[in-house]
A and B are shown apart, each in its own frame.
Chain A
């Protein structure tokens, strides 16, 4: 039996801009099962972020139903939604959204501070664990604003994982990064997915989407395509290929200098 993590029916979202009403989502039906790695694609303005924000309980739909992990989210109050965000969802932003002048460790601990079930000792352990999982074991005490973009995004991913969420949602998590760093981040996501974590991932780039096992495409607030990928690109291979290109580039530079 498939375990439904996310189920939405006829989801709609309207924004009011002055006197005009902008329909960002026009009736979306979608089910995401446990263990899936879904890439959400589509042109700019097609409603990807809007959907992801609603899935992440950061925003509320205008109409439609949303069940998260079997729970109807629409009926929940503000504080209950906060608990959902805290314990069930990990959100990764395009612009990292780390606290400045704060260490990686403290940034990752942040969601745990709002979870009363977690003791100080557990908080520290879990945060260290999460940072190890994203390959930043040696950067725990570094300040967030003294890290590279890729490292900052890893911290943000560690933060999204630290509460053991049922789903990690990432909005253009690689949007600010170069190809190689993007691939490294994707490798991380693939690794997490292999461990069984469900992931929803918004991206513009087909090569990034190729690393996932399901692509859904939006146009004008509607879901127009839903493809199961049977041939998933392995990021590690892609990275190797990039290295080859790197050596080519190096050779090119050497030739030019000579």
Chain B
């Protein structure tokens, strides 16, 4: 029998049984769409967390002061003043696994330009600071070693600061702003980085030479932290143990003494956040899998019931001369049509839902081809199989048995 005739029979049958067809497709549509949307949300947040962490520098290593146990009295981290500029030089000379090192000092305060003012934070570092912390310069230049040596009052501004203290038509470069009453000349603007994983605005900062910040703003000789880049991401663990050894040496700690500093690597952060977002992905993936199974069972039921219901129709078709394989083919085509149409609509709705979630809720979504392919193939397969399987049984009946079927 001609495939075109069969296709026509199948399409007529689909149209004739609208409710059944719509219900079948609905099962597939919901299955496919929910899997796509669910995985898009999961993958999206996963990817966005990873890329946000990357903006903070993946081979970044921080050394922070640790609370020191002095005569049984624990001191808070802010109180501990264990890190000094000499440690930075000592690290630079003795640790070959780091490619750059910089002191970090800073404080918060009010920045003033003309009649505008804005509360922000100032960070002091050396000429490698922007490299280590993955800041790029959008405009102007970073401070030179000369600026640092002479503790010049120059600074770079984050975009948030620029937006809040400068009007639209003023070029900030060359202008003088005041931070805590100290005048700074703006020599550069930082490229925007957006929020970090913790929701902090990474553009709400002022960068200045650490010498200037220590002398004018904090008026202290100790550092808030020492920041470094490991020479490669793979060497972070080796680098941090080397740093620990070098720092103990620098601080002349005896074997019996605890570290008076703490080493933190970005890799730890990545793995913590990575595992959280992986967990979320697994969770959403499981929900998706469940909806796939539920959708699959729905498709199965409707297909199975509808074929059973139509056993008399099958009997009639056999009685007027249809062959078993014609009837099987008709049901197979019906199932294929319903399943692929349902699957395609499901894909469209899944993509639409994901984009709506992205636009309305401002969640990051990432639609992967894998999720589309997986859900589409799974649901279509279930639909086709459970359309075909019971039809195969019915088409193998003697016509009279199919006709007598109740």
Contact = CB atoms under 8 A, between A and B. Distances in A.
Contacts of A79: 323-325
Interface string B201-227: 000000000000000000000000000
B283 interface: no
Interface in A158-175: 159, 163
A58 B403 contact: yes
Contacts of B17: 101
A36 B145 CA distance: 118
A5 to B, nearest CB: 18
Interface in B1-55: 1-2, 5, 9, 12, 16-17
Interface stretch (A110-118, A132-140, A188-196, A206-214): A110-118
Given A106-B12, A114-B326, A58 B316 contact: no
A173 to B, nearest CB: 14
B176 to A, nearest CB: 84
A200 B12 CA distance: 33
Contacts of B321: 82-83, 85-87, 111, 114-115, 163
B403 A97 contact: yes
A59 B320 contact: no
A78 interface: yes
User: Size band of the B side of the interface?
Assistant: 20 to 34
Interface in A73-132: 78-79, 82-83, 85-87, 91, 93, 97, 99-102, 106, 110-111, 113-116
A60 interface: yes
A102 B313 CA distance: 12
A29 interface: no
B398 A59 contact: yes
Contacts of A102: 12, 16
B16 A97 contact: no
Given A87-B321, A114-B321, A115-B321, A97 B316 contact: yes
Main SS at interface, chain B: helix
Interface of A: 53, 56, 58-60, 78-79, 82-83, 85-87, 91, 93, 97, 99-102, 106, 110-111, 113-116, 159, 163
Contacts of B316: 97, 99, 110
Given A101-B16, A113-B9, A60 B398 contact: yes
26 contacts: A58-B398, A58-B400, A58-B403, A79-B324, A82-B318, A82-B321, A83-B321, A85-B318, A86-B320, A86-B321, A91-B319, A91-B320, A93-B403, A97-B403, A102-B12, A106-B12, A110-B316, A110-B320, A111-B321, A113-B322, A114-B1, A114-B317, A114-B321, A114-B322, A114-B323, A115-B321
A100 B12 CA distance: 12
A114 B320 contact: yes
B399 interface: yes
Contact of B317 (A83, A110, A163): A110
Contacts of A82: 318, 321-324
A82 B326 CA distance: 11
A56 B12 CA distance: 28
Contacts of B319: 56, 58, 85, 91, 97
Contacts of B325: 79
A82 B320 CA distance: 8
Contacts, number: 67
A78 B324 contact: yes
Contacts of B153: none
A87 B16 CA distance: 27
A110 B321 CA distance: 9
Nearest to B401: A59
Interface string B319-362: 11111111000000000000000000000000000000000000
A106 B316 CA distance: 14
B393 to A, nearest CB: 15
Q: Which 7 A-B pairs have the closest CB atoms?
A: A86-B321, A111-B320, A58-B400, A59-B400, A114-B321, A82-B323, A58-B399
A36 B134 CA distance: 100
Q: Most B CB atoms within 10 A — which of A59, A82, A101, A116? A: A82
Contacts of A58: 319, 398-400, 403
Interface in B277-329: 312-313, 316-326
B9 A85 contact: no
Interface in B235-292: none
A60 B319 CA distance: 13
Contacts of A53: 400
Contacts of A59: 398-400
B320 A99 contact: no
